[in-house]
Amino acid sequence: MTAPRLVLRGLGQRHAGRQVLRDVDMVIEPGETVGITGPSGAGKSTLARLLTLHESPSDGRLEVDGEDCATWNRARLRERRRLLQLVPPDPGLSFAARWPLWRVVAEGLLIDGCSHARARAAALEVLRKVGIEGDGSLSPLQLSGGERRRAAIARALLAQSRLLVFDESFAGLDPPRQDEIVDLLRELQAQHGLTLVTITHELRLLRRIGGRVLILDAGIAVEDGPAERVLTLPASAAGGRLCAAEYRLEVPA
């Protein structure tokens, strides 16, 4: 199963009468690596929820493989949503603490009617792939922050998700642990043809990941281009402020 192609056409979103996103045009190709950054309140998390079909846009349209999502019924929406996985800041909050880890990871298979034995075997295999050994009997509460993120990646892979959106999912991890997970994602991306979208305030992390970078400011996409160019020679005022803050430079008035 290949990763889907997403096209955003004039995408906008309102929350409680406030325009959170406005006129976002963007294409995410299968297997692409995309970083999204911007100041707090720029609309990054809203865009993450739109990309993974957790919200419907107020304006414009979102196309997945050429289909307008607004035309889908519930069954089609549920089917396509499985391809698009949102990994929140602490994915452990979405884990059922009373379940052993293997069952948390294999939840989708069990819902689809897979036997416990087959689901457990599949879960242990994918957990090993992301670097978590053992028999899967640990509670999610016994995992470290990095292990919870790895478990969330394993759950997405087992559900055959092909586009992973990490919404500040690396926050709170030290740089070596972040780099370790980035290396894992690159390996999995090469093996499975995944599309990776990372939303973060940390420009160091975006430079490490590479690919493309989109900058949002007050709900508007003000810059979209190769990471190396956007993060070193930004063309927008918002990009300049972000880079200045990152490098502790003074921004001319």
Question: So where are the chain's domains?
Answer: 1-83+169-253, 91-159
Residues 150-178: pLDDT tens digits?
888 888 888 888 999 999 888 878 888 88
Which portions of the chain are predicted below pLDDT 70? 247-253
Q: Which residues, 6 or more positions from 84, have their beta carbon under 8 angstroms from its beta carbon?
A: 4, 51, 52, 53, 64, 161, 162, 163, 165
Is residue 191 classed as helix, strand or coil in its secondary structure? Answer: helix
Q: Domain 1-83+169-253 carries which CATH code? A: 3.40.50.300
Length of the chain: 253
Is this model's pTM higher than 0.75 or not? yes
pLDDT of residue 205: 92
Beta strand 163-167 with 195-199 is parallel
Is residue 206 classed as helix, strand or coil in its secondary structure? Answer: helix
* CB of 5 closer than 8 Å to CB of 65: yes
pLDDT of residue 92: 76
pLDDT of residue 252: 44
- CA angle (56 as vertex; 194, 87 as ends), nearest 5: 35
pLDDT of residue 249: 45
pLDDT of residue 37: 96
**Among 168, 237, 240, CA closest to 206:** 168
Strand partners, 101: none
Half-sphere exposure of 78 (CA within 13 A, CB side): 6
Strand partners, 164: 85, 196
**Among 216, 187, 161, 194, CA closest to 35:** 216
Q: Which two tokens stand for residue 145?
A: 């922050």
- CA angle (221 as vertex; 156, 3 as ends), nearest 5: 25
Q: Which residues, 6 or more positions from 2, have their beta carbon under 8 angstroms from its beta carbon?
A: 30, 162, 193
Task: State how far the alpha carbon of 120 is from the alpha carbons of 24, 115, 150, in Å.
Answer: 41, 8, 17
pLDDT of residue 65: 95
Q: Which two tokens stand for residue 87?
A: 């990994």
